[in-house]
Chains A and B, each alone.
Chain A
Amino acid sequence: MPLIETSDGPDWRRRTTKQEFMIWFGWLIGTAIVVYAFHLISEKTIWFFVQDAGTQAMDIGTRMVPPKISYMDKLWLPVWDTLNIATLGTVIALIIAVPVAFAAARNTTPHPIIRATALLVIVSSRSVNSLIWALMLVFIFGPGVLAGTIAIGLRSIGFCAKLLYEAIEEIDHTQVEAIEATGASRAQQILFGIVPQVLPTFAGVGVFRWDINIRESTILGLVGAGGIGLQLNGSINTLAWTQVSMILLVIFVTVLISEWVSAKVRHAII
């Protein structure tokens, strides 16, 4: 924070002229990018539809109430499927994520090449959305819960392994050193020195991801991978709006419950 000599004595400013200039320049570039982006998007937009959106929204909105409660009979099974996709997917992911995380953590990896491979697995798993995984897996396994479960699993490996290996790298090293000093083997050092330290993180990450997976598995049905998304897609396509609102309501409640459960469990662990 510089003092600048002016004709009427020193003047305090927050930044120097150069800093100020750089900041304005940054804003300029940023604004230009946004304007350019908006220009490109608007070129591909039919503005007539956008102007019409208000009336459309009103129209759909009025058709959505009241939600068709009786449709619930047909929703129990899809909800159960959604829950299973999320839970089993998380279990699969955790089973695979643990060895991947130990291979990826700098202080437990057996070899730099293995570490690089593990990091590659993590990145690819994280970058591809579960819906895209599902799209591919439906091609292989056919439509159904199996494709969805594996999709959720594949997507979650990267997420869980990343958080886990970061936790492994951040452990208190002296505890491991103390175990090492007793003459313990490398495997025993991990078992006694590292595992107890990361176990709570492991549980927390699992529950956290499970919560996210509940949300994600509600949409997998859109590409045929099972769960409540299948009904959602069908109802929208047949313009059955009261069913759509009922499904949205069910999703909302399910997500709220899973969020509550996950918060409770994480609180209990930590």
Chain B
Amino acid sequence: MTEQVNPVYPTTWKRPPLISSATLRWSIILGAAIYLALALGTMDVKWSRVAEGLPRGQRFLDAFFPPNFADNRGVVWDGIQESIWMAVIATVAGIMMSIPIGLGAARNLAPKWVYLSCRAIVAGSRTFPEVILAIFAVKLFGFGPFAGFIALSIGTIGFFAKLLAEDIENMSAAQAEAVKATGANWFQWVNYAIQPQVMPRMIGLSVYRLDINFRESAVVGIVGGGGIGATLNTAFDRYEFDTAAAILLIIIGIVLVLEYASGYLRKWVQ
């Protein structure tokens, strides 16, 4: 018990700042402000051009009410189908190639040189967006869905092999050791100790990747990789905004379905 009769308590309180050093705090704030000013300066908005464009934007918005599903129906349907199938086989092929690469890119499984080369493949295919991959695929394989398929497969490898490798690295070492202790060979070990641990998540991720691949298939078409993107690009070039609106709505619809499907599947797997 303190014997103070009338202790004097402070009447103000300030929250301690996130960054305790005042100089550092202010230089960060100042730096951010300067950067923001410079960055906004590069925007160079041409208002005359914007004014000219706004009616176009208006026309584009109008095209959504109602979108035109009827004209070009055949072309749109073809494009959608092409996109879906492209996404499906790109996912399957990409995952099949990711499994050896992912196993190789796991530090606890592979010898050093395998690990490094697999990591290099992963880093390479992850850095470049699918569209850039598609540009090169189109150069090599010609216009059409095959190029898109190749680009999406490579993108899938970068995504899937990385996550697979990380999952394997984070798995429970105790379980892996227990199976190894039974005298299992390498393949048995992978099959019994590793596969059960990473499988549920991988199934969920593959549906997720299918979803991504479908979305990306809509853009590889813009650079000549086939699919709905090509149809969309044509619609824009011909100023057929109502068809473009219809295509966008279809894409949103399919993505929604895929998202629900993947959520459902993930619940079912776990």
Residues of A within 8 A of B (CB): 33-34, 36-38, 40-42, 44-46, 49-50, 53, 56-57, 60, 80-81, 83-84, 87-88, 123-124, 126-129, 131-132, 135-136, 139-142, 144-146, 149, 215-216, 218-219, 222-223, 232, 236, 248, 251-252, 255-256
Task: Give Cα A140 to B239, complex, Å.
Answer: 12
**B129: CB under 8 A from chain A?**
yes
**B242: CB under 8 A from chain A?**
no
16 A-B Cβ contacts within 8 A? A33-B88, A34-B92, A45-B141, A49-B142, A53-B140, A60-B139, A123-B252, A131-B131, A140-B50, A140-B57, A141-B45, A142-B50, A145-B44, A222-B222, A222-B223, A251-B127
Q: Which residue of the partner chain, among B43, B89, B129, B219, contacts A38 with CB atoms under 8 Å? A: B89
Task: Give Cα A42 to B85, complex, Å.
Answer: 11
Contact yes or no, B56 A248, CB < 8 A: no
**Nearest Cβ distance between residue B29 and chain A, in whole angstroms?**
15
**Nearest Cβ distance between residue B118 and chain A, in whole angstroms?**
18
Contact yes or no, B56 A139, CB < 8 A: yes
Contact yes or no, A132 B127, CB < 8 A: no
Task: Give Cα A46 to B226, complex, Å.
Answer: 13
**Nearest Cβ distance between residue A213 and chain B, in whole angstroms?**
11
Contact yes or no, A139 B142, CB < 8 A: no
Instruction: Closest B residue to A40 by CB, please name it.
Output: B85
Instruction: Closest B residue to A88 by CB, please name it.
Output: B39
12 more contacts with CB within 8 A, not counting A53-B140, A132-B232, are: A37-B85, A44-B144, A53-B141, A60-B140, A127-B251, A128-B252, A131-B219, A135-B236, A136-B244, A145-B42, A146-B43, A218-B129
Chain B residues touching A, range: 35 or more
Contact yes or no, B252 A140, CB < 8 A: no
Chain A residues lying within 8 Å of B127, measured Cβ to Cβ, are 215, 251-252, 255-256
**Nearest Cβ distance between residue A54 and chain B, in whole angstroms?**
9
Known A-B contacts A45-B145, A60-B139, A251-B128; the reply to A141 vs B251 at CB < 8 A is no
Chain B residues lying within 8 Å of A141, measured Cβ to Cβ, are 45, 49-50, 53
Task: Give Cα A202 to B228, complex, Å.
Answer: 34
Instruction: Closest A residue to B85 by CB, please name it.
Output: A37
**B256: CB under 8 A from chain A?**
yes
